[in-house]
Chain A
Amino acid sequence: MPDVLPTDVSDVEFKKWVAEKWGYKKLPMAGSTPAGTAKFFRTGDWAAKQPRLIVENCTSCYKCYFYCPDSAITMVAGEDGKAHPEFDMFYCKGCGVCAYECPGRKGEKAIIMEDLK
């Protein structure tokens, strides 16, 4: 590990670091790591459930986007020209926060959780 942490550490390099058990002399100070390395780790395979969008109930309120703890939701323009959630299953842990928070339309949820097959 260099003195100054790199900003553009590669997937392969970082995983190699994690696999090695470093001593305290090599370990970077103050529990620090290069930023953003969580993106190297597939957490999608932790999931037991997955979200499904029911687009006609979506009001484009963005609540799911803000609440997602893993930034696994992006808002993408749909056929109606409005923004709707798209789920990145590489990261989605299936926690269901998006579905829980979804206000839906007239009491009908726009996101529901389904068992993964």
Chain B
Amino acid sequence: MSKIAVTGDDAIAQAAKLVNPDVVAAYPITPQTIIVERFSDFVANGEVDTEFVCVESEHSAMSACIGASTAGGRVFTSSASAGLMLMFEIVQIASSSRTPIVCAIANRAISGPINIHGEQTDQLLFRDSGWISQFAETNQEAYDQTIMAFKIGEHPEVLLPVAVGIDGFILSHAIEGVEPVTKELVSDFLGGERKSTLRLDPDNPVSIGLLHLQDYYMEARAQVRDAQQRSKQIIIDTFKDWQKLTGREYNPIESYQIDDADYAFVTMGSGAGNARTAVDELRANGEKVGLIKVRVYRPWFGNEFSTLTKNIKGIISVERAHSFGSPGGILGQDVKSTLFDAKQTPYIAEYCYGLGGRDCLVKEWTEIYNRSIQGFNEGENLPYFWWGVRE
């Protein structure tokens, strides 16, 4: 099929349309608004069979989603930044209730000061919540990952909610070409309607989400822990199934020019596009540099990460997110703790960049590279550094 010109938000809405969820409950927030706005068009035009619940807040949106999902429905929602904050109490309950809700997140900086632009800190707050958390680099990836998210989350071995992140404005409001798939393909891929053994059913009544105190709380949390671990194989399998159908390859941790690389950028989301371009420019100057892109952040694919970095001398971890008072970045902590187990630990330099949507040009990525290499050559790890912040 020829490509369609869509924004990242539109791509996700189109993907959700093909999935035809039973229920969508969402509340608008920039830069996600277009996703639910477009989807409400589909509902109004009768292009989907979805029950669209107009709620009064994100807290209610996620609550309605959990209700719909525990009733056995296929459920989609979307939010960003402050919306996620308001939703956050219920976000935790979505994973412990084992509701495979798919939530598209147009990643946006957290207030304050108030800002509407791209930053991944909001989704990284999902880190410890039991959600599967993925990031997309392009609108095509956002489109594909949204569809795949339903299959991953609803797998009986998983039953966890899935977040798919796109950088606010950089993808959410940017037009790119997206190769669409057909409704039939999506329906076959998902295997028809959601099948759910544990659900609220008047003919087979159960209670879900009961009080667990000292005697059982740890066991209930351990179930989510195990589901996260089990989801790794399901994610890999689902990516492969999608590749068979569409020819588009997906991996939880992806690499570019890594085979003979001495050094590697590690990043997530749309920034990987700029890093990739910087790798091309640096390679043209003879630098042996590659890129590792973390597509699936939770669960963390440590083994896959270690395999890619086993011959790397220096890692340059660059993230559009921050954590105050922490020993480094958020992604950086995962990178470091994974490398701690490696036989030969590479040097590492950690950067925070692009908060609140601040641009980071390709030439800045090459400057980040040069600065890091200089440190590595002096035999040092570089302290955590906020790139581009004025003193």
Contact = CB atoms under 8 A, between A and B. Distances in A.
Interface of A: 3-5, 7, 21-24, 27-37
24 contacts: A7-B205, A21-B215, A24-B218, A24-B226, A27-B219, A27-B220, A28-B198, A29-B159, A30-B97, A30-B98, A31-B97, A31-B209, A31-B210, A31-B212, A31-B220, A32-B206, A32-B209, A32-B210, A33-B206, A33-B207, A34-B206, A34-B207, A35-B205, A36-B205
B97 A24 contact: no
A36 B158 CA distance: 27
Contacts of B220: 24, 27, 31
Contact of A27 (B96, B159, B204, B223): B223
Nearest to B218: A24
Contact of A32 (B207, B218, B219, B226): B207
Given A21-B215, A29-B223, 14 more contacts: A4-B204, A7-B206, A24-B223, A24-B226, A27-B223, A29-B98, A30-B96, A30-B159, A30-B209, A31-B210, A31-B212, A33-B206, A34-B207, A37-B207
A37 B206 CA distance: 10
A5 B97 contact: no
A31 B197 contact: no
B204 A7 contact: yes
Which among B97, B198, B209, B226 has the highest number of chain A CB atoms within 10 Å? B198
A4 B197 contact: yes
Interface residues of B, number: 23
Given A7-B204, A7-B205, A21-B215, A32 B198 contact: yes
A24 B215 CA distance: 11
Contacts of B212: 31
Interface of B: 96-98, 159, 197-198, 204-212, 215-216, 218-220, 222-223, 226
Nearest to B208: A32
Which among A24, A27, A36, A37 has the highest number of chain B CB atoms within 10 Å? A24
Contacts, number: 61
A107 B216 CA distance: 48
A3 to B, nearest CB: 7
A29 B219 CA distance: 10
Contacts of B222: 24
A31 B216 CA distance: 9
A34 B200 CA distance: 11
A35 B206 contact: yes
A23 B159 contact: no
Contacts of B211: 31
Nearest to B211: A31
Contacts of A21: 215
A5 B206 contact: yes
Contacts of B207: 32-35, 37
Contacts of B204: 4-5, 7
Contacts of A37: 207
A3 B205 contact: no
B355 to A, nearest CB: 37
Contacts of A31: 96-97, 208-212, 220
Contacts of B208: 30-32
5 smallest CB-CB distances across A and B, nearest first, come from: A35-B205, A24-B219, A24-B222, A30-B98, A32-B208
B103 to A, nearest CB: 18
Contacts of A24: 218-220, 222-223, 226
